[in-house]
Amino acid sequence: MQAKINTHLIEIFKTEFGSIYQCDQTNHFILEYAGRFTAFKPTNFIDFTKRVFAINLHDMASNTARHADIAILMPLYTETCFLLTMSDTIRLQRILGGAKTILHLNTLLKTSQLQFA
């Protein structure tokens, strides 16, 4: 199953800690982080990005309670449960934010191609 997913992947954005791929065959985005792959439908990918950016880093850093050291994301659309430390969160925000910029550029490029074709 994993191999099948991997054949049509286009790399969108990559850092030393993980990457985002797009699969044009299944119309999914795939997040690779900490050795794990998670596939998202576009709607869910946007939702997931929002959730990761909604994590309060300031609270994680300043709150001394132990539960504040970890953010838990359990989106119902994936089987994965994300337990994120502060550095995980920062890394994921960089990956997802970078991917968002590239995807936005792709949209701009596509629309201008249509306009000038």
Partner 1 sequence: MKDLLRLRTSLTEEIETLLNEQIKVEAYSSSLYLAMSSWCDRNGYDNSAGYLEKQSGEEREHMLKLFRYVNDLGGSAVSPEVINIPQEFDSFKGVFEMALQQEIQVTSNFNRIADRCQKANDYVTFQFLQWFLKEQVEEEYVARRILELFEVIGEEGTGRWEIDKHIPKVSFGISGE
Please give the Cα distance from 11 to 59 (Å, whole number): 33
Helices (H), the chain: 2-6, 42-54, 57-62, 86-116
Site string for partner 1, 77-96 (x = CB under 8 A): --------------------
Residue placing its CB nearer to partner 1 in the complex, 25 or 56: 25
**Sign of the four-CA dihedral 20, 22, 26, 27:** positive
Instruction: State in angstroms the smallest separation of the CB of 110 from partner 1.
Output: 5
Residue from the set 3, 76, 107, 117 that interacts with partner 1 by CB under 8 A: 107
Q: Which is nearer to partner 1, 42 or 63 (CB)?
A: 42
By beta-carbon proximity to partner 1, the closer residue of 2 and 107 is: 107
Of residues 6, 72, 110, 112, which one binds partner 1 by CB under 8 A?
110
Cα 92 to its chain centre, rounded Å, is 7
Interface positions, 16-55, toward partner 1 (CB under 8 A): 22, 24, 27, 29, 42-43, 46-47
Are 22 and 9 spatial neighbours (Cβ–Cβ below 8 Å)? Answer: yes
d(CA 72, CA 62): 17
**Rounded Cα gap, residues 95 and 31, in angstroms:** 9
User: Which residues sit at the interface with partner 1, rule CB under 8 A?
Assistant: 10, 22, 24, 27, 29, 42-43, 46-47, 103, 106-107, 110
